[in-house]
Structure 1
Amino acid sequence: MFGIYIHIPFCRKACHYCDFHFSTSLNYMDEMVDAICKEIALKADRVSGTAGSIYFGGGTPSILPATALQKIFQTLEKHFDIATGAEITLEANPDDLNAAALKTMRALPVNRFSIGVQSFFEEDLRWMNRAHHAGEAIDSIRRSQDAGFENLSIDLIYGYPLLSDEKWESNLATAISLQVPHLSSYSLTVEPRTALAAAIEKRKEPAPTDAQSAEQFRMLMARLQSARFEHYEISNFALPGQYAVHNTNYWRGVPYLGIGPSAHGFDGHTRYMNMASNATYMQALLRGQLAEERELLTDHDRYNEYVMTSLRTMWGLDPELVISRFGRSYHDYLHTALGKLGSNDWLISGDGKIKLTTEGKLYADHIASELFKVDEE
């Protein structure tokens, strides 16, 4: 099975930390939906088989009216075989999930929400420049559950200056009490060309610290483990059997289509990257053309991606799979690179897999980079 990712590039407000592609102007929403539908038709021959997941990301997909979402679904159903019971996720802001919106959503194929909560504290949401209020975050979760949407994920951010350890513990306790089966949590990253980066550069805001981020990541792991959540990927936690199908397939190298401006797709060997410009994207599709660039991945690229993604998951890195996908030379290189890492408490071996320990998860990117293979000159 393959996945389909659809990027909806609209938001009501620009969060101070966000560098994703979006526009706060909604003037060309209808034209964008038309362009997305045209791209779906043009890429219908890129994949074969059945779509096991569809993911609406952004931006803020929940900003779209139900009629626009229905038009996209009808186009998808026309061009692809979609599995019965496929996971269909819509990223949503809490302020969009009011009673009327949830009623219309019940008539759509959407069966999972990923809700951008970020924090349950009002002052933190204002600091982030989020569009919703703290009360809306809790209410949107409860309303969704009451409307029959039990497959929910929420996002929380840690490691920012306003977040004390006590507030972080409170955020986690609230999430657990709301009985959401999936939680994604990310350390605040200061991205270039964001409002937060500018404020830090002008010394209007303090920069986040690695020490705070590490401590709150440890708190996150311990607190959710005690609540029976499985830490199945560095930033993702789920109750048993509630893993995100779409994102899990990313980490396992399953092919997926990328639709919409800035979206990426992958067919197993080639990466497709759409232009991160609404105007360029729409103009190209109006001409019946794709606004994308292609990158043919080398064996080194694919090996390095496998190392990075597999180590981030609880299933770990499989040396036997390295042999079957890339050959004995890559297995030997991996063995040598592991030896150079030396003795530490970052990695464990079991069931033939190499996995990160709890402490190793703090250094996942560094460990992966030490196992990467550099292209030969």
Structure 2
Amino acid sequence: MSGIYIHIPFCKQACFYCDFHFSTSLKKKEAMLLAFIKEIEIRKSELGDKIVETIYFGGGTPSVLNKDEIELLINAVYNNFKVVANPEITLEANPDDLSEEKIIALSKSPINRLSIGIQSFFERDLKLMNRAHNSIEAKNCLSVAIRHFKNISVDLIYGIPDCSNKEWRENIQTALSFGISHISSYALTVEPKTALETLIAKGKIKKVSEKKAQEQFYILMEELEKAGFIHYELSNFGKEGLFSKNNSSYWLGKSYLGIGPSAHSFDGKQRSWNVRNNTQYIKSIQENNLPIERETLSKTDNYNEYIMTGLRTIWGVSLAKIKSNYGEKYLHYLKNQSQKYIDEKLLEIVVTTNGVEKLTTTKRGKFLCDGIASDLFMLNSI
């Protein structure tokens, strides 16, 4: 099984914290759509006999597209790839785009999952992040969406400078009150060359506190566990049977094809990525050239990626898989490197019901997961 990711590189306005590739001008939208279709056609053989089980519209802001434009792209996927009978088809959307009319139209399209970028229900937080929607729009769009979609995910951001722990709990409870089945939640991160970095440097926005982010991460785990959600990946929580199939495929090492400027792809052996420029992307595709760079992963690269993705998920890192795929030396190295974190109760080795030993993060270790994983990386090939 495989997945298709389509990067829609347009936004109405720039969020201060965002470092994804996008443009606030929609002038090239029509040319971009045609380029997407052409790239899909050019790359139709790349997945081989693999069947597509997920189609994901990310961005940017995919909800700037209308129903007909979305269906045009979905049809292009169906015309060029084998697709399962009932694929998961997700659209990332912002509340200001989700009028009742738009939601109803989307519900009549092949889209069967919405990922809505709420981020916060507090006006102060939304203004600090320069979000295009307000709190009323956030609540109104959810009230309508839950009547037309069974599978809805909400994005929330923690660690916002002026958001207290009490308000953070309120954010979580407000999201839960709509009966949604999935929450993706991320710490507010100061990325280089973003407006947020500049505003903090100028003293116009308070510095982001890692201590507060850690506190609110543990509050998030506590509240969602009580609500019956499964913490299946570091930033993702879902009800049983409603995990994101698209995101899970990345963490489980499945292949996927990324369409559009800046989109990444993976075939199990190579990673590739398209040029991060709308004009160059369109021009190149029009000339039947893929504006793409490729990197072949070594055994050590694959090992490091498995450690990173495995520790982020409930599936953990299988010690048997390390031995069979990478050999005894890698397994010995992993056990040695992880022992100090096991002693500190940040990692643990658990045995599954079918007798497989796996290395996983403990609740205490989850917030520190990425740092721990990097310490387990193999720096030189054996």
Candidates 357, 362, 375, aligned match of 2:362: 357
The residue type equivalent to 1:109 in the other structure is P
- Matched with 1:53 is 54
Q: CA deviation at 1:98?
A: 1.1
The residue type equivalent to 1:120 in the other structure is F
Deviation sequence 1:2-35 (CA, Å, 0-9, x none): 0111000000010011010000000010000000
Q: Which moved more, 1:198-207 or 1:10-19?
A: 198-207
Q: Is the 8 A contact 1:161 1:208 kept in 2?
A: yes
| 3-state SS, counterpart of residue 250 of structure 1 | helix
- Matched with 2:354 is none
The correspondence of residues 5-24 of structure 1 with structure 2, limited to 5 A, is 5-24=5-24
C-alpha separation in 2, matches of 1:234 and 1:181: 17
The correspondence of residues 195-274 of structure 1 with structure 2, limited to 5 A, is 195-274=195-274
- Matched with 2:30 is 30
C-alpha separation in 2, matches of 1:117 and 1:172: 11
- Matched with 1:63 is 64
Q: CA deviation at 1:204?
A: 1.7
Candidates 370, 373, 382, aligned match of 1:368: 373
The correspondence of residues 172-211 of structure 1 with structure 2, limited to 5 A, is 172-211=172-211
TM-score if structure 2 supplies the norm length? 0.96
C-alpha separation in 1, matches of 2:65 and 2:15: 18
The correspondence of residues 264-343 of structure 1 with structure 2, limited to 5 A, is 264-341=264-341, 343=343
Q: CA deviation at 1:328?
A: 2.4
C-alpha separation in 2, matches of 1:318 and 1:275: 35
| 3-state SS, counterpart of residue 213 of structure 2 | helix
C-alpha separation in 2, matches of 1:289 and 1:35: 11
Q: CA deviation at 1:341?
A: 4.3
C-alpha separation in 1, matches of 2:53 and 2:323: 27
C-alpha separation in 2, matches of 1:269 and 1:239: 32
Q: CA deviation at 1:365?
A: 1.3
The residue type equivalent to 1:144 in the other structure is A
Q: CA deviation at 1:100?
A: 1.5
Deviation sequence 1:258-291 (CA, Å, 0-9, x none): 1000000000010011111001100100101101
- Give me the identity figure in percent: 45
Structure 1 unaligned runs (5+)? none
Q: Is the 8 A contact 2:341 2:347 kept in 1?
A: no
The residue type equivalent to 2:316 in the other structure is G
Q: Which moved more, 1:115-124 or 1:65-74?
A: 65-74
Structure 2 residue 355 is matched with structure 1 residue 348: no
Q: Is the 8 A contact 1:93 1:116 kept in 2?
A: yes
Q: Is the 8 A contact 1:115 1:155 kept in 2?
A: yes
| 3-state SS, counterpart of residue 91 of structure 1 | strand
C-alpha separation in 1, matches of 2:380 and 2:282: 36
Deviation sequence 1:69-108 (CA, Å, 0-9, x none): 1211111110011111111000000111112212221332
Q: Is the 8 A contact 1:341 1:370 kept in 2?
A: no
- Matched with 1:142 is 143
| 3-state SS, counterpart of residue 53 of structure 1 | strand
Q: CA deviation at 1:340?
A: 5.0
C-alpha separation in 1, matches of 2:135 and 2:225: 25
Q: Which moved more, 1:349-358 or 1:266-275?
A: 349-358
The residue type equivalent to 1:9 in the other structure is P
Q: Is the 8 A contact 2:88 2:112 kept in 1?
A: yes
| 3-state SS, counterpart of residue 24 of structure 1 | coil
The residue type equivalent to 2:318 in the other structure is D
The correspondence of residues 65-144 of structure 1 with structure 2, limited to 5 A, is 65-144=66-145
TM-score if structure 1 supplies the norm length? 0.98
The residue type equivalent to 1:356 in the other structure is T
The residue type equivalent to 1:242 in the other structure is L
Structure 2 residue 165 is matched with structure 1 residue 165: yes
C-alpha separation in 1, matches of 2:173 and 2:12: 29
Number of equivalenced pairs: 376
- Give the root-mean-square deviation of aligned CA atoms: 1.2
C-alpha separation in 2, matches of 1:373 and 1:254: 22
Q: CA deviation at 1:342?
A: 6.0
The residue type equivalent to 1:355 in the other structure is T
Q: Is the 8 A contact 1:51 1:83 kept in 2?
A: yes
Deviation sequence 1:322-358 (CA, Å, 0-9, x none): 1222222211221222235461110122111111111
| 3-state SS, counterpart of residue 86 of structure 2 | strand
- Matched with 1:154 is 154
Cα gap change, 1:130/1:294 in structure 2, threshold over 3 Å: closer, same or farther? same
| 3-state SS, counterpart of residue 315 of structure 2 | coil
Deviation sequence 1:19-76 (CA, Å, 0-9, x none): 1000000001000000011110111000022101111000000101222112111111
C-alpha separation in 2, matches of 1:304 and 1:294: 18
Deviation sequence 1:234-277 (CA, Å, 0-9, x none): 10001112110010010000000010000000000100111110
C-alpha separation in 1, matches of 2:126 and 2:338: 42
| 3-state SS, counterpart of residue 258 of structure 2 | strand
